[in-house]
Amino acid sequence: MYAILDIETTGGKYNEEGITEIAIYKFDGHQVVDQFISLVNPERDIQPFVVKLTGINNAMLKNAPKFFEVAKRIIEITEDCVLVAHNASFDNRILTTEFRRLGYNYEKQTVCTVELSKKLIPDLPSYKLGKLCRSLAIPVTSRHRADGDAMATIQLFKLLLNKDIDKEIVKKSVKTLTTKKLAPKLQDILDELPTKTGLFYIHNCSSTILYIGKSKNIKRTVNQLFLRTSQKAKYIQNNVTSVSYEDTGNELIALLKFAEELKVNKPKYNFVKKNHITEVVFNNDNFLIVEKGRNVGEKSVLLIENNEVKGFCFTDLNYQINNLEILHSLMSPMENSLLNRYIIKKYLQKNTIEKLIRF
């Protein structure tokens, strides 16, 4: 579970800033499940340059709650969460400083979307939130306001989760959650899983991925795994601590991600078949395969360029689909392997896709 947040402050000397506005969205890796947004009376003046930047002035905050009045809600909504922010060291420092003034020790693991973006989307001209979102065609409303910036960070974080083939972000979150004892019954794990198409990851107590599965119905397939009596299945049942999942929206992306992530993560209890595939050539050198995405209005886009598999992304804007430069930035890269080409070719032969765009 993640707490995606943005904080606006008064400005001023280091560790003497006060919070003027805070927005926190509790995000389960797929959707927002809770939120808290509030102006905050910092009990000190706002620096003039900050007023000009954010539009928040002293008069607006006169009747706003003070930090001690919202502190309990912040603790509740961020419980068992990894904090996610754009420049997370700043937001985390501000929060811990405010809680320290109240005599409370507030400690959280953090994920910084600036650092992740530099790693997973290299060579962009700028990693400041506004310019980064412009490069990726992520819409931003109310720039330099906590709510608008936090919403933009959610969209950016979704993209980064999709690009994180090594699952380092998910593993960090799983490790945090499993420090507490989970209920022993497998049914408790099943209750948290969706009936959607995608991948699932069986984790042990040290967050290691023991097994990766793919399914058109994640809950049903995990339930079947928990009911099996083979030696491998029993080991998984005895050692599973949590099951994370990734909604892929459609079977094609699930098949491709499954093939790629088996090679990257090498789970101990997956049996990898040896495939004997001859050269696969597509009918068109340059095209996009557009299929349904993870929610209403979203699409998955698979890019074939110069007869090579380049990658895929999710988008809900036609502008992103029609702009090849932006698509390249959004793409999670995929190997132009024989297996991936074979998967795509067979899928196109067996299924009616939503749209195929040649360019």
Measured at the CA of 294, the angle between CA 87 and CA 257, to 5 degrees, comes to 80
pLDDT given for residue 272 in this prediction: 74
Which residue type sits at 59?
A
pLDDT tens figures, 97-123: 999 999 999 989 899 999 999 999 988
Compute φ and ψ for 287, nearest 5 degrees: -160, 160
Two tokens, residue 257 = 């991600």
Quick one: 349 exposed, middle or buried, by C-beta within 10 A (0-12, 13-18, 19+)?
Answer: exposed
Query: Is the distance from CB of 344 to CB of 256 less than 8 angstroms?
Result: yes
A 10 A CB-CB count for 167 gives 22
Query: Is the distance from CB of 168 to CB of 265 less than 8 angstroms?
Result: no
Mean pLDDT of 62-73: 94
pLDDT tens figures, 335-356: 999 999 999 999 999 999 999 9
Residues paired with residue 200 on neighbouring β-strands, in sequence order: 213, 245
Query: Is the distance from CB of 154 to CB of 25 less than 8 angstroms?
Result: yes
Query: Is the distance from CB of 140 to CB of 193 less than 8 angstroms?
Result: no
Query: Is the distance from CB of 47 to CB of 11 less than 8 angstroms?
Result: yes
Q: What is the DSSP string of 197-213?
A: SEEEEEE-TT--EEEEE
Cα torsion for 124, 130, 134, 139, to the nearest 10°? 140
Compute φ and ψ for 245, nearest 5 degrees: -150, 165
Mean pLDDT of 29-35: 91
Residues 6+ apart with CB under 8 A from 125: 131, 135
Cα torsion for 162, 164, 168, 174, to the nearest 10°? 10
Q: What is the average pLDDT value for the chain, to the nearest integer?
A: 90
Query: Is the distance from CB of 249 to CB of 292 less than 8 angstroms?
Result: yes
pLDDT given for residue 182 in this prediction: 46
Quick one: 281 exposed, middle or buried, by C-beta within 10 A (0-12, 13-18, 19+)?
Answer: exposed
**What are the extents of the domains in the chain?**
2-163, 168-265, 287-358
Whole-number Å distance between alpha carbons of 321 and 354: 14
Whole-number Å distance between alpha carbons of 1 and 118: 23
Does residue 320 surpass a pLDDT of 90?
no
Two tokens, residue 146 = 């906590």
Going along 56-181, which residue ranges are E strands? 82-85, 110-112
pLDDT tens figures, 122-152: 888 899 999 999 888 888 888 889 999 999 9
Best CA proximity match to 174, nearest among 163, 159, 189, 187: 189
CATH of domain 2-163: 3.30.420.10
pLDDT given for residue 175 in this prediction: 59
pLDDT tens figures, 164-219: 888 888 777 765 555 444 446 688 888 889 999 999 999 998 889 999 999 999 99
Answer CATH for 168-265 from 3.40.1440.10, 3.40.50.720, 3.40.190.10, 3.30.565.10: 3.40.1440.10
Best CA proximity match to 190, nearest among 180, 179, 200: 200
Residues 6+ apart with CB under 8 A from 318: none
Whole-number Å distance between alpha carbons of 115 and 172: 15
Best CA proximity match to 87, nearest among 172, 3, 6, 173: 6
DSSP 21: E
Exposure letters 198-222 (e unless 16+ CB within 10 A, then b): bbbbbbbeebbbbbbbbbeebbeeb
Mean pLDDT of 235-243: 91
